[in-house]
Amino acid sequence: MEEMRLQKFIANSGYCSRRKAEELILNGKVSINGKIVTELGTKIDGNTNEVKIEGKKIMAVQSYKYVLLNKPVGYVTTAKDQFKRPTVIELVKGVGVTLLPVGRLDMYTSGALILTNDGDFIYKVTHPKHEIEKTYNATVKGIISDEDVEKLRNGVEIDDYISGKAKVKILKIDKEKNLSRAEITIHEGKNREVRKMCEAVGKKVIALHRAKIGNIHVKDLKIGEWRFLTNKEIESLKN
């Protein structure tokens, strides 16, 4: 095994994301051959060095798995939840390895979520510079006007930042029920971004579904079902 940075080795083991690994190293939770290491640039060979996190030995992963889940509402996107709520990990059984979610979907949002044990892949795909498009179907209270669409396309003010330019397409207007449905495609995917964008134009989201990540969609998966990503899909996300 070639030498690699400690945080990359930890991430590649599937223990946690690379960012979390860096945090663990800086907080003195990681040891190499019994000695605590706090330098992020430390390089190791996983075959000859014993790496432990808080006393637990970390093994190099032999094979990577990549899963696409059509997440139901009511599940949190985390490996463990302190409030004992159901997690997305409980839905992905029989893979044979410990998986981590790639990015997040809030508890009340359904749809496309990727899980993997490839920490390097998680780091690349979630890094803002890669700008992978995510497409959502949002059902909102009220009638979305052309003016609202224009504002969303140009970026709206949320909290302390302006959202990135979005692609917006109205799918349905129901004047009788005072509801609208729109397809919204964004790049960043900050915390609850689509919900906040809609609120910024005075429309409350009552249902939100992530239909696609890049070109990978979940329309052939029932809610709660998962499948392995194809090699072509994995490469499209990496590139």
Give the chain's radius of gyration (CA, Å): 20
Q: How confident is the model at residue 101 (pLDDT cuts 50, 70, 90)?
A: very high
Question: What CATH number is attached to the domain comprising 177?
Answer: 3.30.70.1560
Query: Which pLDDT does position 201 carry in this prediction?
Result: 97
Long-range contacts from 190-197, C-beta under 8 angstroms, 24+ separation: 190/161, 191/104, 191/106, 192/106, 193/158, 193/163, 194/136, 194/138, 195/106, 196/158, 196/159, 196/163, 197/152, 197/156, 197/158, 197/163, 197/166
- Over residues 186-198, the pLDDT tens digits come to 987 788 999 999 9
Are both 163 and 206 inside the same structural domain? yes
Q: Do 12 and 77 fall into the same domain? A: no
**Alpha carbon 22 to chain centroid distance?**
18
Segment 213-227 mean pLDDT = 96
Give me the pLDDT at residue 131, please: 78
Report the CATH number that the domain containing residue 17 is assigned in CATH.
3.10.290.10
pLDDT at position 123: 83
Residues 202 and 174 in one domain: yes
118 in the same domain as 225: yes
Q: Which residue has the higher pLDDT, 103 or 68?
A: 68
- 123 and 223 belong to one structural domain: yes
Q: For residue 190, give the nearest of 151, 224, 225, 155 by alpha carbon.
A: 155
pLDDT beyond 90 at 183: yes
Distance CA 197, CA 166 (A): 10
Residue 59 has pLDDT above 90, yes or no: no
The answer to whether residues 151 and 203 belong to one domain is yes
Mean pLDDT value of segment 35-57: 91
Lowest mean pLDDT among 38-42, 59-63, 77-81, 116-120: 59-63
- Which domain does 229 fall in, by range? 66-127+218-238
**What does the pLDDT look like over 133-146, one tens digit per residue?**
999 999 999 999 99
Q: How far apart are CA 74 and CA 126, in angstroms?
A: 23
Q: Which residue has the higher pLDDT, 46 or 174?
A: 174
Same domain, 157 and 178: yes
pLDDT of residue 181: 98
| Terminal alpha carbon distance of the chain | 25
Residue that terminates a domain, selected from 15, 33, 58: 58
Which residues is 205 bridged to in the sheet? 140
Judgement on whether residues 51 and 79 belong to the same structural domain of the protein: no
Residue at which a domain ends, from 33, 58, 83: 58
The tokens for 39 are 């330098």
Question: In this predicted model, which residue has the larger pLDDT, 218 or 129?
Answer: 218
CATH code of residue 117: 3.30.70.580
* 8 Å CB contact between 77 and 71: yes
Total structural domains within the chain: 3
Same domain as 31, residue 9: yes
Helix (H/G/I), strand (E/B), else coil: 227 = strand
**Cβ contact 44:80 at 8 Å:** no
What does the alpha-carbon distance between residue 212 and residue 74 come to, in Å, rounded to a whole number? 19
Residues 30 and 88 in one domain: no
Indicate if the pLDDT at residue 82 is higher than 70: yes
Q: Tell me: do 88 and 206 sit in the same domain.
A: no
Supply the residues annotated as catalytic.
106
Single residue among 58, 79, 101 that ends a domain in this structure? 58
- For a pLDDT cut of 70, what percent of the chain falls above it? 100
In this structure, the answer to whether residues 120 and 224 fall within a common structural domain is yes
Q: Find, among 145, 59, 132, the residue nearest to 98 by Cα.
A: 59
Kindly tell me the number of DSSP H helices and DSSP E strands found in the chain. Answer: 6, 17
Mean pLDDT of all residues belonging to the chain: 92
Residue ranges of E strands in 54-204: 56-58, 66-71, 100-101, 109-116, 134-141, 157-158, 161-162, 167-174, 179-186
Q: Over range 170-177, report the average pLDDT.
A: 97
What pLDDT is stored for residue 12 in this prediction?
A: 78
**pLDDT tens for residues 11-24?**
878 788 888 899 99
In this prediction, residue 129 carries a pLDDT of: 78
Residue 1: pLDDT band (50, 70, 90) is: low
Residue 8 pLDDT greater than 90, yes or no: no
